[in-house]
Structures are given as structure tokens and as C-alpha cells.
Structure 1
Amino acid sequence: MNKILLIDDDPEMGELLSTYLDGEGYSLHHACTAKEGLKVLGSNDFDLVLLDIVLPDISGLNVLAKIRADSSIPVIMLTGKGDEVDRVVGLEMGADDYICKPFPLRELLARMRASLRRSAMNGNQKTVTPTSRGKLSVGALEINLDSQSIMVKGIETHFTAAEFSIIEHLATSCGKLVERDSLMETALGRTVDFDDYVLNVHMSNLRRKIGDSVSIKTIRGRGYMMTARTQA
């Protein structure tokens, strides 16, 4: 059973999600403050964090920074509809996804399952049995699918589970167009009726990290194509 940590100061939200997720096979622990959430997270083995942006003691973004300082656990930010800047900053700081309040419970569940699936593929779930998948090399980018690590020009570089999933899909189809809808569904676990805002931010983040090691072209209105850069 996956253990979920909710950090949110709304007691009704905690009760609602606890009842709903219990019926879906998840165990939820609800922390009403940032300090409580960080303390519980440090002493327990959780699989995913649901983190509210607005907390009574510490900003959700500051909590995210503390989590990311020593953990790659999947984090889904809970935001208000008008918190666009906070959503961007949260994703840039390493959040896996976000969902706007109020949200349909089925949509939250879908986002959770997608994040947990990426985390499992990225080696964060202890129950996953490793399988040998080999390596991919594109330009100055070396992707080890077994260790879930990436070397950029010979230097190991940290990528989030979502970023790794995107890079893997683009590299596997090197030289070919990868449609946005396909990338949304296969790499991020989002169906085409979800907005593609998260994909835009993840693409921006990973492009910054890979620099000029490879080329990722945007095919306007269609998708992306990864190619090795031509040597001068």
C-alpha cells in the first residue's frame, strides 16, 4: 500500500482525501502545518507528498525546497486557480506536478498514479524489481536506463523523474517527431484532455540542464524532435 503525506491546513480536505484514497488502496497521513509535515516526512517512509502552496507557518514553496534538498520523493503541489507564478516556480524547483483547487478526486488520483509510476521507473520504489534495459547515447548525452542516470558531456546531472521520462522518450525516438499528446500521455501519464502547461515547464527545465549536448527542436503545433548536434 502506497503511503501518502498530505501537508494542508484544511481539516475537511484531510478527511475527504483520507476516506477517498483509503478506498483506492492508499494510506494517507495528514499534517496541518509545514513544520509537522517536514517532521513526519523525516521519520517515515512515504511514497508521495501532496503539498499545499499556502500554509499557516511556512510557504509551500519553502517546504518544497527543504524536501528537494535531500529527497526525490514525488511532490504534487495543490494550488489556487490564480497562482500561476507559484505553479511555475514550484515546477522549476522540482515539483512533479500540480493540481488546482477545487479538483475532481478522480483527476487527483490519476496525477498521483502517474507520479508514482514515474517514481517507480526511476528507482525510488523499493518494491520494483530492476530489469536490464541498457543505455542510450545521443550527441553528448548518455542515458543509463538501468541506473536511471544521465551524463551530460561526461558529467552526471540530476533530473527529476518527470524530466528523465521525457528525455528517455525523446532519445528512444531520436531523429523522429514525438507528438505532444503522445509525450503527455506516455512520459507524464496525462490524457490529452489535461492541459499541457506542466510539459512546457518540464521541457524548459531539462533544456537548461542539457545545454547544447543535444538538440531538441520544437515542431510548432505538433511536438518535439531530439537530434545529435552537428559538429563544426
Structure 2
Amino acid sequence: MRDQATKILVCDDEIDVREMLAEYLTKRGFHVLSAANAEELRATLGKGRVDLIVLDINMPGEDGLSVLRSLRPDNPVPVIMLTAAGDVVDRIIGLEMGADDYLGKPVDLRELEARLKAVLRRQDTPQTQGQSSDGATTARFGAFTLDLEAAKMVSDAGEELALTAMEFNLLKVFARNKGRVLNRDQILEQAHDRSWDPFDRSIDIRISRLRRKIERNPEKPTIIRTVRGIGYVYDPED
């Protein structure tokens, strides 16, 4: 748990949006920082700790997707993207690039607060929960070992693989359900604290992103396999 107020950085070119989010979140105990563009965002990040970024996609100049691309994979700070209502393409691209969640505009303040808290809960998962289905605190994913207590993944060569908070939580869900076929609803509820929408492709996108990191051949996955018509299964050979 954090011993000081959670710092939220809101980056949006619309001053009304920044002020609205700052006022609402400050009243709920968050410490809110604001940035009007990519340059201000980077300057703020350079000054110290930020726990989560709320990032608008459609900003003039350097847009939110470009900012997100520059952050990942070196900076693991969680990012919630703000997208135009119904702009599915931007949401998909954002998720593929490592965003932790997304929210459409106009922003529902209560939903934003719920999404913030859900992402932050995933960041603060207690180590006492760091066990796989067989009680182990590590799990093998191909040439990588996931350390459930330290929340990191290391290759056989000793190199750490950069993971977003959501990617780690997905891997943790699979580690805890080794050999068990999980549908999308089960995965999303366990990893994302919300129910699955039939039109929500976030799980499929994130699993595709994970496969590109851990599978020898992402086009023919053997670690996290698709079970047609149902969902996914983590069933490693070892």
C-alpha cells in the first residue's frame, strides 16, 4: 500500500477537462497533476513519481498514442487512455501499445474513478496472493519465468521482460489456472475487475501482445493456446 496520496497525471489539451478531472479526483483524495501536451507531460514525469496517467489520445501536435509509444516499455506507469466516443480503432491501437485501460469521452467521472481504482489495485496486489494453482510462487512461460511475488518476468538468460500492470495480471491469472480453460468473462473479471462486453476486444488484443513477447512463434502459440469458441488455456509442457 502507498504511504502518501496517489499521484494522478491528467494530460489533455482541453483546460475544461483538466480542471474538471482535477477537481473531482482531488475531492476523492488523489493528488492531481496536469499537463496540456506531451512536452508538459514529460517535464512532469521528470520531476518525480507519478502513479497513473490519464492520457487523451486526440491532442494537437504529438498525440496520445505517440506519447504512449515513447513511454513503453521503459516506463511501466499505468496509463488510462481517453478516446473519442465510439473510436474503436484508437482503443485497439492503444491497448496493443500497452495502455492499461481506456474510457470514452465525454468522461463519466464515477466510471473514471472506478477504472482508476481498479488499475491501482492491480498495481498493489499483495504478495500473499502471489501463488499459482499448485501453490508455487513462480510459473514458466516458455523461455521465461514469472515471479508472482516480485511481479516480474525474467528470461533464461537473466534479462527482465518489460510488462505492463495488465500484462502481469493476465499472466498471473493463467498461472493460477494452469490447465484450466478460461473464457473471456472469467479472464477479464479476474484480471481487470470488470465484466466482459461481447464487443470488448481488450483481452484478445492483450493476449496477442503477450504472445509476441513470450511465444517462439506468436502465429502458432503453444504456451497460451486458443480454445475455439470458448477462450484460452495456459498449459505449458513443463
**Structure 2 CA distance for aligned equivalents of residues 5 and 46 of structure 1:** 7
Note closer, same or farther for the CA distance 1:99–1:135 as it changes in structure 2 (3 Å cut). Answer: same
Which residue in 2 is equivalent to 1:226? 234
Which residue in 1 is equivalent to 2:134? none
Correspondent of 2:153 among 146, 150, 153:
150
Q: Does 1:12 align with 2:16?
A: yes
Greater mean alpha carbon deviation, residues 143-152 or residues 14-23: 143-152
Correspondent of 1:58 among 38, 59, 62:
62
* Equivalent position amino acid for 1:217 in 2: R
Which residue in 2 is equivalent to 1:45? 49
For structure 1, the residue ranges without an aligned partner over 5 or more in a row are 122-127
Q: Does 1:179 align with 2:183?
A: yes
Is the Cα contact below 8 Å between 2:73 and 2:162 reproduced in 1? no
Is the Cα contact below 8 Å between 1:3 and 1:26 reproduced in 2? yes
Q: In the TM superposition, what is the alpha-carbon distance from 1:39 to its structure 2 partner?
A: 0.8
Could you say what secondary structure the match of 2:58 adopts?
coil
Which residue in 2 is equivalent to 1:125? none
- Give deviations 1:27-47, integer Å, cap 9, x for gaps: 212211221121112113111
Is the Cα contact below 8 Å between 1:138 and 1:227 reproduced in 2? no
Which residue in 2 is equivalent to 1:114? 118
Could you say what secondary structure the match of 1:72 adopts?
coil
**Structure 2 CA distance for aligned equivalents of residues 208 and 174 of structure 1:** 20
Give the fraction of aligned pairs with identical amino acids, expressed as a percent.
Answer: 40
Q: In the TM superposition, what is the alpha-carbon distance from 1:190 to its structure 2 partner?
A: 1.8
User: TM-score by structure 2 length?
Assistant: 0.83
Q: In the TM superposition, what is the alpha-carbon distance from 1:53 to its structure 2 partner?
A: 0.7
**Structure 2 CA distance for aligned equivalents of residues 192 and 69 of structure 1:** 26
**Structure 2 CA distance for aligned equivalents of residues 136 and 172 of structure 1:** 9
User: TM-score by structure 1 length?
Assistant: 0.85
**Structure 2 CA distance for aligned equivalents of residues 195 and 74 of structure 1:** 23
For structure 2, the residue ranges without an aligned partner over 5 or more in a row are 132-136
Is the Cα contact below 8 Å between 1:3 and 1:48 reproduced in 2? yes
**Structure 1 CA distance for aligned equivalents of residues 72 and 163 of structure 2:** 12
**Structure 2 CA distance for aligned equivalents of residues 139 and 61 of structure 1:** 30
> What does 1:64-75 align with in structure 2 at a 5 Å threshold?
64-68=68-72, 70-75=74-79
Which residue in 2 is equivalent to 1:202? 206
* Equivalent position amino acid for 1:109 in 2: E
**Structure 2 CA distance for aligned equivalents of residues 141 and 71 of structure 1:** 20
Which residue in 2 is equivalent to 1:164? 168
Note closer, same or farther for the CA distance 1:201–1:57 as it changes in structure 2 (3 Å cut). Answer: same
Could you say what secondary structure the match of 2:76 adopts?
coil
**Structure 2 CA distance for aligned equivalents of residues 156 and 70 of structure 1:** 11
